[in-house]
Amino acid sequence: MQKGDYITEEKRKELEIEVEALKGPKRKEIIDALEFAKSLGDLSENAEYHQAREDQGKLEERIVKIEAILKNSTVVTNTGGDIISVGSTVTVQKENSGENKTYTIVGAEEADMAKGKMSNHSPLGEALFGKKKGETITFKTPAGMVNYKIVEVK
């Protein structure tokens, strides 16, 4: 289950709302900007037109990306349990450090280390996957091998 792309139900809803806004009001806004820019005349030297075309390209790329995420991702819910998987909240302690850190394992699309959300594709996320409370894991970082003890799994 680890190698796939995962999103939470909350993220799925957020992406669905975003894609609807992009396809509706935002798309119309860009089309209106294009029409206005065309009305200004010579398109070869029309900065407004070129900016609107660039905005349109970015909008369409984002729509395609969101639709791909929604189509190809598995929606997960935290089922609790002792085995670490996407959706688990894990407290770990770095070897030779008294400091505990808590992370929630999420799909790559939701990863945000500032909020304690770690991708299941990150080195630590991959090392934790399938493990249980009390186990010690070792994984490679740019600074070398690092050991963590799993203190708690929720």
The confidence score (pLDDT) of residue 1 equals 40
If one counts the domains in the chain, the total is 2
Taking alpha carbons only, the member of 83, 76, 97, 72 closest to residue 129 is: 83
The confidence score (pLDDT) of residue 15 equals 95
Spacing of C-alpha 79 from chain mean position: 20
Read off the CATH number of the domain in which 92 is found.
Answer: 3.10.50.30
Rg value, the chain, Cα? 22
The residue from 57, 75, 93 where one domain ends is 75
Read off the CATH number of the domain in which 35 is found.
Answer: 1.10.287.180
Average pLDDT over residues 32-44: 89
d(CA 16, CA 24): 12
- What are the pLDDT digits (tens) for 9-33? 888 999 999 999 999 999 999 999 9
Q: What predicted TM-score, i.e. pTM, was given to this entire model?
A: 0.72
Same domain as 149, residue 82: yes
**What 8-state DSSP symbol labels residue 41?**
S
The confidence score (pLDDT) of residue 41 equals 83
DSSP 12-29: HHHHHHHHHHIIIIIHHH
- What are the pLDDT digits (tens) for 74-130? 888 766 678 898 889 999 999 888 889 999 999 888 999 999 999 999 999 999 999
List the beta strands (DSSP E) in 13-69. Answer: none
Range of the domain at 89: 78-153
**Inside any domain, residue 30:** yes
